[in-house]
């Protein structure tokens, strides 16, 4: 059962911003500017797997510190400590550059905040915002520098987009590829695939959502012979491979249940998935055949405004109906809230056995304006960047690809969404929406929770899973919550007859 990546005899590295070794200054929540506590234990990584033997280790670290482009774990949090006590902060690192990075990181954050403020604050001034963004662009690059710098570059770009969009109408058009966006976001398919595979290897992010949802589905359909899953955004259908395998090997209940998947398809081509839905369908069918899983695939067209109409679904009596809503995929396109809402409320009318929802976990929204949500977003992606780096500090180019292909565009999308919805109450999370609409929570089983812990155990120690509600598992990196998987069932006492 030796699945953990940690090795006990790895030398303790003090290069992480949130190490708790005595020389650090991090302690209690110092700067509550970002309201989170970054003083967790530094990640212990299976270095032997990644680099040479233990002997090369020190050299490795030296070279990392020396090499300009590869600052070790200069997380986005450094600015937090820098703001406290720059002098004591330098005791943390023996390296001059390190403290320079810290203050640079801090400067970047300040600039970003100022730009955000100028864009949307009480004293809105687009000109000022423009100037600040220009300055920012001089300082950062999306491919070089520390985590913070690369992150800042993407945020700068996002703000730039908002600025330009703000001039002529709301920002929605920025998200689907406008002409300017095309160059950036039209990625070669192999890039997208490569980045996706890397992301799968580097972090449990995608798998966590998929596996948690699948386990819940498996548990809900044990006694059913027919299972029908309506997938909001099937993308490449990766989620379903492991579900099919599990269905084929299940020991309880009727063997070889028939699986039917209906994928919602959209008219436009704002998607960044690899290939079309038809291709996904073919691939899933082939995979199912290869493992002997009875399977059929259907499409259901959404309206042009991406509204889901329950009547357009074909249903079969006695099947277990599942609505699957994964909103966390890295190459997930922005979906208008109205579309998601139509999907979920449509689900309600059909009395489904289960609704599985995975979404990004945001900080508390409340009545906060753009700037604070902007900062929250900065926090969020900073944690993401850090989580990728902590696990794989040497694979900076791999990470850069993932950042370029996925995280960058996502940042742009997130900010655009925040921009659009700040001030509205609709900034809340979908799970809150589900609860409010009347869906009933379904408990996360011990086995499901177990699986999640096991999964995280395959990656860096910094990941953790929390059960924040009986029906909700949350993936977090250090003290930052990243992803929420929640399970629901129909509001009505369903008596789905089992065929």
Partner 1 sequence: MFPRLIQSHEGLLGPDDFVGVGVVGGGGGGGGGNPGHRGDPCLVLTSDPKPRLRWTTDLHERFVDAVTQLGGASKATPKAIMRTMNVKGLTLFHLKSHLQKYRLGKQSGKDGADAPKDGLSGSYLLENPGSGNSTPSLPSSDLNEISGFGRNYEVKEALRAQMEMQSKLHLQVEAEKHLQIRQDAERRYMAMLERACKMLADQFIGSAIIDTENQKCQAYGVKMPRNLSIDPLGFYSHEVTAVHGTEDEVPPNLHSQRGDCSTESCLTSHESPRILALEESPAGGKKRAMGIDSTSAPLIWSEAKLKIRDVAVPQVSPHGLTGFGM
Which residues in this chain contact partner 1 in the complex, by CB under 8 A? 1-4, 143, 182-183, 186, 188-191, 193-195, 197-198, 200-201, 207, 210-211, 214-215, 218-219, 222, 236-238, 241-242, 244-246, 249-253, 274-275, 279, 283, 286-287, 290-291, 392, 394-398, 400-401, 404, 443, 445-447, 450-451, 453-455, 457
Q: Which one, 394 or 469, has the nearer CB to partner 1?
A: 394
Q: Is 275 left (phi over 0), alpha (psi -120 to 50) or beta?
A: left
Q: Which one, 309 or 397, has the nearer CB to partner 1?
A: 397
Q: Which one, 275 or 369, has the nearer CB to partner 1?
A: 275
Q: Which one, 25 or 489, has the nearer CB to partner 1?
A: 489
CB of 213 to partner 1, least distance (A): 12
The 3-class secondary structure across the chain, one letter per residue, is: CCCCCCCCCCCCCCCCCCCCCCCCCCCCCCCCCCCCCCCCCCCCCCHHHHCCCCHHHHHHHHHHHHCCCCCCCCCCCHHHHHHHCHHHHHHHCCCHHHHHHHHHHHHHHHHHHHHHHHHHCCCCCHHHHHHHHHHHHHHCCCCCCCHHHHHHHHHHHHHHHHHHHHHCCCCHHHHCCCHHHHHHHCCCHHHHHHHHHHHHHHCCHHHHHHHHHHHHHHHHCCCCCEEEEEECCCCCCHHHHHHHHHHHCCCCCCCCCEEEEEEEECCCCCCCCCCCHHHHHHHHHHHHHHHCCCEEEEEEECCCCCCCCHHHCCCCCCCEEEEEEECCCCCCCCCCHHHHHHHHHHHHHCCCCEEEEEEECCCCCCCCCHHHHHHHHHHHHHHHHHHHHHHCCCCHHHHHHHHHHHHHHHHHHHHHHHHHHECEHHHCCHHHHHHHHCCEECCCCHHHHHHHHHHHHCCCCCEEEEEEECCEEEEEECCEEEEEEEEEECCCCCCCCCC
CB of 269 to partner 1, least distance (A): 15
Cα distances (angstroms) measured from residue 170 to each of 282, 373, 431:
38, 18, 26
CB of 227 to partner 1, least distance (A): 13
Q: Which one, 9 or 183, has the nearer CB to partner 1?
A: 183
Q: Which one, 124 or 186, has the nearer CB to partner 1?
A: 186
Q: Which one, 153 or 418, has the nearer CB to partner 1?
A: 153
Q: Which one, 10 or 400, has the nearer CB to partner 1?
A: 400
- CB-based contacts of 392: which residues, under 8 Å, 6+ apart? 50, 202, 398, 399
CB of 77 to partner 1, least distance (A): 25
CB of 451 to partner 1, least distance (A): 5
CB of 475 to partner 1, least distance (A): 15
Q: Which one, 313 or 454, has the nearer CB to partner 1?
A: 454
CB of 470 to partner 1, least distance (A): 11
Q: Which one, 97 or 443, has the nearer CB to partner 1?
A: 443
Upper half-sphere CA count for residue 86 (Cβ side, 13 Å): 12
Of the candidates 144, 123, 138, which has an alpha carbon nearest to the alpha carbon of residue 67?
A: 144
CB of 485 to partner 1, least distance (A): 15
CB of 254 to partner 1, least distance (A): 13
CB of 190 to partner 1, least distance (A): 3
CB of 304 to partner 1, least distance (A): 27
Q: Which one, 127 or 252, has the nearer CB to partner 1?
A: 252
């Amino acid at each position: 059962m030796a699945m953990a990546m940690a090795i006990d005899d790895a030398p303790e590295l003090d290069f992480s911003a949130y190490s708790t070794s005595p020389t650090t200054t991090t302690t209690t929540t110092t700067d509550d500017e970002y309201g989170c506590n970054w003083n967790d234990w530094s990640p212990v990584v299976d270095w032997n797997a990644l680099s040479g033997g233990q002997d090369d280790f020190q050299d490795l670290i030296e070279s990392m510190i020396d090499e300009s482009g590869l600052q070790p774990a200069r997380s986005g949090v450094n600015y937090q400590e820098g703001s406290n006590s720059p002098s004591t902060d330098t005791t943390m690192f023996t390296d001059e550059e390190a403290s320079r990075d810290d203050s640079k990181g801090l400067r970047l954050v300040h600039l970003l905040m100022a730009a955000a403020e100028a864009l949307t604050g009480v004293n809105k001034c687009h000109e000022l915002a423009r100037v600040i963004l220009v300055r920012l662009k001089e300082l950062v690059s999306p491919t070089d520098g520390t985590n913070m710098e690369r992150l800042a570059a993407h945020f700068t770009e996002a703000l730039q987009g908002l600025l330009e969009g703000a001039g002529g109408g709301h920002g929605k058009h920025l998200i689907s590829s406008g002409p300017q966006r095309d160059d950036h976001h039209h990625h070669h398919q192999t890039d997208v695939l490569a980045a996706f595979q890397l992301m799968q290897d580097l972090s449990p992010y995608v798998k966590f959502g998929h596996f948690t949802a699948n386990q819940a589905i498996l548990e809900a359909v044990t006694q059913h012979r027919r299972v029908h899953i309506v997938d909001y955004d099937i993308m490449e259908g990766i989620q379903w491979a492991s579900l099919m395998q599990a269905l084929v090997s299940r020991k309880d209940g009727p063997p070889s249940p028939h699986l039917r998947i209906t994928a919602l398809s959209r008219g436009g081509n704002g998607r960044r998935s690899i290939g079309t839905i038809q291709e996904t369908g073919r691939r899933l069918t082939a995979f199912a055949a290869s493992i002997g899983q009875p399977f059929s695939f259907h499409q259901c067209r959404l309206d042009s405004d991406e509204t889901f109409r329950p009547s357009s679904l074909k249903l079969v009596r006695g099947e277990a109906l599942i609505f699957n809503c994964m909103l966390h995929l890295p190459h997930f396109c922005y979906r208008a809230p109205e579309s998601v809402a139509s999907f979920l409320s449509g689900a309600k009318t059909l009395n489904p056995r289960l609704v599985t929802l995975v979404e990004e976990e945001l900080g508390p929204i409340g009545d906060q304006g753009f700037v604070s949500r902007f900062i929250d977003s900065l926090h969020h992606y900073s944690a993401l960047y850090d989580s990728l780096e902590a696990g794989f500090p040497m694979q900076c180019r791999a990470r850069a690809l993932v950042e370029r292909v996925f995280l960058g565009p996502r940042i742009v999308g997130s900010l655009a969404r925040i921009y659009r919805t700040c001030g509205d109450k609709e900034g809340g999370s979908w799970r809150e929406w589900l609860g409010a609409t009347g869906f009933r929570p379904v408990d996360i089983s011990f086995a499901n929770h177990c699986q999640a812990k096991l999964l995280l155990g395959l990656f860096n120690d910094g990941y953790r899973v929390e059960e924040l509600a009986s029906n909700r598992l949350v993936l977090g990196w250090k003290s930052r919550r990243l992803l929420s998987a929640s399970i629901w069932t129909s509001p009505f006492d369903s008596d789905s007859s089992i065929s």
